[in-house]
């Protein structure tokens, strides 16, 4: 079964053709980083306009690279939630028009479910149930992956996502957007014990995250040093900050896994490309005898191959959308599980 998938939830216009949920025939991503770097972050209006400008070319490139014609496509999958509403609507509108004109089924795919599914592309042997840690610019979740289309969120951020925190700290330290990769590189040469940052907790929510206080602590350190005329070694700040994020993410994930009885962990999301997070989680799993699965780096960030993979399982589960499909800016994984 060949699924053409479209992803446009933020600032990547992406299209892929995926066969039987596991074989990636093409995976095209048009990035907008250069444009948004001018503003230090994603500007929703610019993102939407750029999606509209290039989506046709991206879809055509994905078909060309896959060697498939539109007649050989069996269904069309598209990200419909969550994300920037204007950006989502560009992909949804294009997918609806394509599905209608070609007479193909339309499959609505949840963006976070897509990130989780990225692991199936890199690790075909991975099967639910397992515990997932999804960490990206907009999301930080600990998720029970009950099967391929059912989830239970057991931990989530109450404010900033980890990836958002990386970008804001990077900007404070003078790095360009997106800042995550610069923090990661700086952390490799910095001293991770140079500074002690807080590990914020959420009362009554054992596995939930809060990164706002950590972000503020780093910003205050930098601003206070500037006001006093002191010089900070930003590599040390980056290394100490990254170590703290890793301790928070890994600590809560391990606690949840042990309490809920999981011995298999799946890492996903844009921050899953961070070498510190990957290493810390691997070490923690190795110490406990847990199995750890991580996506290849090319599937960590937003891409359409992961949407095509998840779309395959959603199709098998009977999920379909008609021409009334709309974008949803905020939608928990718990909600789509209730609809299954």
Domain containing 221 — which CATH number?
A: 3.30.420.40
111 and 252 belong to one structural domain: no
Task: Spell out the residues 6+ positions from residue 49 whose beta carbon is closer than 8 angstroms to its own.
Answer: none
d(CA 161, CA 142): 12
Tell me the average pLDDT of the chain.
96
138 and 274 belong to one structural domain: yes
289 and 327 belong to one structural domain: no
153 and 192 belong to one structural domain: yes
pLDDT at 338: 63
28 and 98 belong to one structural domain: yes
314 and 202 belong to one structural domain: no
Domain of residue 162 covers: 128-294
DSSP H stretches of helix in the chain = 33-37, 44-66, 85-102, 111-122, 162-172, 180-187, 212-228, 234-260, 275-288, 305-316, 333-339
191 and 282 belong to one structural domain: yes
Selection from 332, 311, 310, 331 nearest residue 320 by Cα: 311
53 and 22 belong to one structural domain: yes
Whether 95 is covered by a domain: the verdict is yes
287 and 191 belong to one structural domain: yes
Whether 121 is covered by a domain: the verdict is no
| Model pLDDT for residues 121-141, shown as the tens digit of each residue | 999 999 999 999 999 988 899
What's the total number of domains in the chain? 2
In this model, does residue 339 exceed pLDDT 80? no
282 and 189 belong to one structural domain: yes
Whether 245 is covered by a domain: the verdict is yes
In this structure, what token pair is assigned to residue 247?
A: 């301790």
pLDDT at 309: 98
**What confidence category does residue 334 fall into, taking pLDDT thresholds of 50, 70 and 90?**
confident
d(CA 233, CA 83): 36
287 and 306 belong to one structural domain: no
**What's the rounded mean pLDDT across residues 73-102?**
98
Task: Spell out the residues 6+ positions from residue 224 whose beta carbon is closer than 8 angstroms to its own.
Answer: none
| Model pLDDT for residues 197-254, shown as the tens digit of each residue | 999 888 888 999 999 999 999 999 999 999 999 989 999 999 999 999 999 999 999 9
189 and 208 belong to one structural domain: yes
Whether 15 is covered by a domain: the verdict is yes
Whether 200 is covered by a domain: the verdict is yes
DSSP bridge pairs for 150 = 147
Selection from 309, 286, 264 nearest residue 122 by Cα: 309
């Amino acid at each position: 079964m060949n699924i053409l998938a479209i992803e446009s939830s933020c600032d990547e216009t992406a299209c892929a053709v995926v066969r039987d949920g596991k074989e990636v025939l093409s995976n095209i991503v048009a990035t907008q980083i250069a444009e948004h770097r001018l503003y230090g972050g994603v500007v929703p209006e610019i993102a939407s306009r750029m999606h509209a400008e290039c989506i046709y070319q991206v879809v055509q490139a994905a078909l060309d690279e896959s060697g498939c014609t539109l007649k050989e496509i069996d269904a069309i999958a598209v990200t419909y939630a969550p994300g920037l509403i204007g950006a989502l609507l560009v992909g949804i509108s294009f997918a609806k028009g394509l599905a209608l004109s070609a007479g193909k089924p339309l499959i609505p795919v949840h963006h976070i479910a897509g990130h989780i599914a990225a692991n199936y592309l890199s690790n075909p042997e991975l099967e639910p149930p397992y515990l997932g840690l999804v960490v990206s610019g907009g999301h930080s979740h600990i998720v029970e992956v009950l099967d391929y289309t059912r989830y239970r969120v057991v931990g989530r951020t109450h404010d900033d996502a980890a990836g958002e925190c990386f970008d804001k700290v990077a900007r404070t330290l003078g790095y360009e957007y997106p800042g995550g990769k610069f923090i990661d590189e700086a952390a490799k040469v910095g001293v991770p014990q140079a500074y002690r940052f807080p590990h914020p907790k959420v009362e009554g929510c054992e596995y939930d995250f809060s990164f706002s206080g950590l972000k503020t602590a780093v910003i205050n350190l930098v601003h206070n040093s500037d006001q006093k005329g002191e010089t900070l070694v930003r590599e040390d700040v980056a290394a100490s900050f990254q170590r703290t994020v890793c301790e928070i993410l890994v600590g809560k994930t391990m606690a949840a896994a042990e309490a809920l009885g999981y011995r298999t962990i799946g890492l996903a999301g844009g921050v899953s490309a961070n070498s510190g997070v990957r290493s810390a989680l691997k070490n923690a799993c190795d110490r406990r005898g847990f199995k750890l699965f991580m996506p290849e780096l090319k599937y960590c960030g937003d891409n359409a191959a992961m949407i095509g993979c998840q779309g395959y399982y959603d199709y098998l589960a009977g999920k379909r959308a008609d021409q009334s499909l709309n974008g949803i800016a905020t939608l928990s994984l718990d909600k789509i599980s209730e609809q299954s």
